[in-house]
């Protein structure tokens, strides 16, 4: 069975004023035995036309012819199973390592950005705002809303609303201000990591790795051209075949040198990783300092609150309803107030007030809670009393209570 015929359709060339080589698009259709065209193209190629010094006006024709040779060879390999010139194992190993390096750099840049700015919605909004700032010519771009800053704003707001003179309100303000300081430290980390880690890696991506990809693409084009001419040796002039081989080896050497140099200077990437770690260390040191200062402040607040005397709540006097004189009261409250109950009025019978909780450990001891009023019935010695509480009688230590009404002598 004869191989399928193919045809090509050239596409438009790019602007000749640009530095990039002009390109040509080739679309191949495959015909069956009946001569009908398949319903859609099987292969669409976009190849670069190489600059040939000295060819001048012939460039468009010669370049198009060369692209046809390359496309024909590529179709023979992809569809017909023809074998092209194999590159040596050392070259393939370099190519594999460069490919892994390229993927690693792109992925690490992406994941580092997510680490510094974990909220995808905020990242997208920030990117849009930065673009708008560049369009408007604004120098200062809006920063990423750090979670610590948002939490600090919330705490400071409610702390001031509650009142800084209160324990909780003052503590909220302290913690809120420290959180905002942490947000500033995190902003510094973002800037350091971008300048010393992300930007150098992005430069590696945009320059060195892109240049290597250009050399590899050019090498592949020259290989296809050489293999096509080698397959038609005898029909192609020997000088043209020799030039194709020389160009192939020249491109191979350039690509190999560029990959080798990249991999041999990978200590630069180690230096960039070191900068990332140093930026993180600096961030954590500053964060620890802020948190230690905050911890000392909160400890001092707790200590002051414990030593400060507790204010007793004194209820306001209850108004007395005067219903004695209907002509004047009209059901309203009179201005006379009932006197507040005296907290210091002591009971008439011998008694004492518990200063602390006392848990009985031995049989016959009387347990009580702080504030309980205990009726005194007897003093056993200079350290122990006997008393009654809630119908229970027992012994308890004298230093746990304050005597309100002493026992009669």
What pLDDT is stored for residue 280 in this prediction? 96
pLDDT category of residue 73 using cuts at 50, 70 and 90: confident
What pLDDT is stored for residue 395 in this prediction? 92
Q: For 123-132, 197-206, 376-385, which range has the lowest pLDDT when averaged over its residues?
A: 123-132
Task: Please return the burial class of 396, using the count of CB atoms within 10 Å of its CB with bins 0-12, 13-18 and 19+.
Answer: buried
pLDDT category of residue 323 using cuts at 50, 70 and 90: low
Residues 81-109, mean pLDDT to the nearest whole number: 93
Q: Considering just the CA atoms, what is the radius of gyration of the chain in Å?
A: 45
pLDDT category of residue 408 using cuts at 50, 70 and 90: confident
Residue 130 has pLDDT above 80, yes or no: no
Residue 333 has pLDDT above 60, yes or no: no
| Residue 48: CB atoms within 10 Å | 18
Which of 20-29, 37-46, 105-114 reaches the highest mean pLDDT? 105-114
Q: For 75-89, 249-263, 330-344, which range has the lowest pLDDT when averaged over its residues?
A: 330-344
Residue 154 has pLDDT above 90, yes or no: yes
Residues 361-381, mean pLDDT to the nearest whole number: 91
- DSSP letter string over 1-36? -PPPPEE----PPPPTTSSSPPEEEEEEEEB-TT-P
Query: Does the CA dihedral 340-343-349-354 come out positive or negative?
Result: positive
| Residue 200: CB atoms within 10 Å | 16
Residue 115 has pLDDT above 90, yes or no: yes
Distance spanning both ends of the chain, measured CA to CA = 134
Residues 59-76, mean pLDDT to the nearest whole number: 77
Q: Which of 352, 345, 344 is nearest to 399 (CA)?
A: 352
């Amino acid at each position: 069975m004869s191989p399928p015929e193919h045809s090509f359709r050239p596409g438009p060339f790019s602007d000749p004023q640009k530095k990039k080589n002009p390109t040509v698009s080739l679309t191949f259709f495959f015909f069956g035995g009946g001569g009908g065209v398949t319903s859609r193209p099987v292969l669409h190629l976009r190849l670069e036309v190489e600059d040939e010094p000295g060819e001048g006006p012939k460039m468009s024709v010669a370049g198009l012819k060369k692209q046809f040779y390359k496309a024909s060879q590529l179709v023979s390999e992809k569809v017909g199973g023809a074998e092209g010139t194999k590159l040596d194992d050392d070259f393939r190993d370099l190519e594999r390592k460069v490919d892994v390096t390229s993927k690693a750099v792109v992925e690490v840049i992406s994941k580092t950005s997510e680490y510094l700015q974990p909220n995808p919605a905020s990242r997208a909004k920030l990117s849009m705002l930065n673009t708008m700032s560049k369009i408007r010519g604004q120098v200062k771009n809006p920063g990423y809303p750090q979670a610590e800053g948002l939490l600090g704003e919330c705490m400071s707001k409610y702390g001031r609303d509650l009142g800084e003179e209160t324990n909780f309100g003052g503590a909220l303000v302290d913690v809120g201000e420290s959180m905002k300081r942490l947000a500033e430290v995190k902003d510094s980390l973002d800037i350091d990591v971008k300048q010393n880690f992300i930007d150098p890696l992005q430069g590696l991506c945009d320059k060195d790795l892109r240049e290597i990809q250009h050399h590899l693409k050019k090498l592949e084009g020259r290989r296809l051209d050489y293999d096509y001419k080698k397959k038609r040796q005898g029909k192609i002039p020997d000088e043209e075949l020799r030039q194709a081989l020389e160009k192939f080896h020249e491109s191979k050497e350039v690509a190999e040198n560029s990959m080798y140099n990249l991999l041999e200077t990978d200590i630069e990437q180690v230096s960039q990783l070191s900068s990332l770690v140093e930026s993180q260390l600096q961030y954590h040191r500053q964060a620890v300092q802020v948190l230690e200062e905050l911890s000392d402040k909160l400890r001092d607040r707790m200590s002051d609150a414990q030593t400060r005397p507790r204010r007793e709540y004194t209820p306001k006097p209850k108004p007395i309803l005067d219903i004695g004189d209907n002509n004047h009261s009209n059901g309203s409250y009179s201005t006379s107030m009932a006197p507040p109950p005296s907290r210091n009025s002591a009971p008439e019978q011998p008694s004492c007030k518990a200063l602390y909780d006392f848990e009985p450990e031995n049989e016959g001891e009387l347990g009580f809670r702080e504030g309980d009023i205990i009726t005194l019935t007897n003093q056993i010695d200079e350290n122990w009393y006997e008393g009654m509480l809630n119908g229970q009688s027992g012994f308890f230590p004298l230093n746990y209570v304050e005597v309100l009404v002493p026992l009669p002598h």
